[in-house]
Amino acid sequence: MKRSNEPIFWSLFGAGGMLSALVAPILIFITGIIAPIGLWMPGQALAYSRVLGFAQHWLGKLMLMAVISLFLFHAVHRIYHGLHDIGVHAGTAARVAAYGSALLGTLISAYLLIVAGLR
């Protein structure tokens, strides 16, 4: 019997689900709401030099990489399986597009973190 590759994607979905359950609400709240409107978060908290420093630190790189990659793998897994619920009977192409875009996002973030390190 051919071995299923589902456990890989299920694990990535699970890891992303766990990480997003822990930190996604607060990240959305900070970067998308309170920092832009300047409430409970001073403007210099997300100042260029500070965020660049974070992206240049190995721990910051690891955190950004984990957030972007795992959030993407979690989301595309749900979106792919959710297609059936809205009456779209997706095949292999949709599967490749879903996980492929998460992989692409992961590679782009890795590249950008390397570029950020050179600044």
Partner 1 sequence: MARIKTYVRPMQGWWRRNPYYVRYMIREASSVFLAIYTVILLVGLFRLTQGEAAWDAWRAALASPGSIVFHWLALLTVSYHAYTWWKVAPKTAPDLRIAGRPLPELVITAGGWLATLGTSALVYLIVRWM
Q: Between residue 46 and residue 65, which ones bind partner 1 under the rule CB under 8 A?
A: 46, 48-49, 51-52, 55, 64
The answer to the question of residue 103 lying near partner 1 (CB under 8 A) is: no
Q: Which of 3, 4, 39, 42 binds partner 1 (CB under 8 A)?
A: 42
Q: Hey, CA dihedral for 2, 16, 73, 87, is it positive or negative?
A: positive
Contacting residues toward partner 1, per CB under 8 A = 14, 17-18, 20-33, 35-37, 41-42, 45-46, 48-49, 51-52, 55, 64, 67-68, 71-72, 74-79, 82, 85, 87, 105, 108-109, 112-113, 115-116, 119
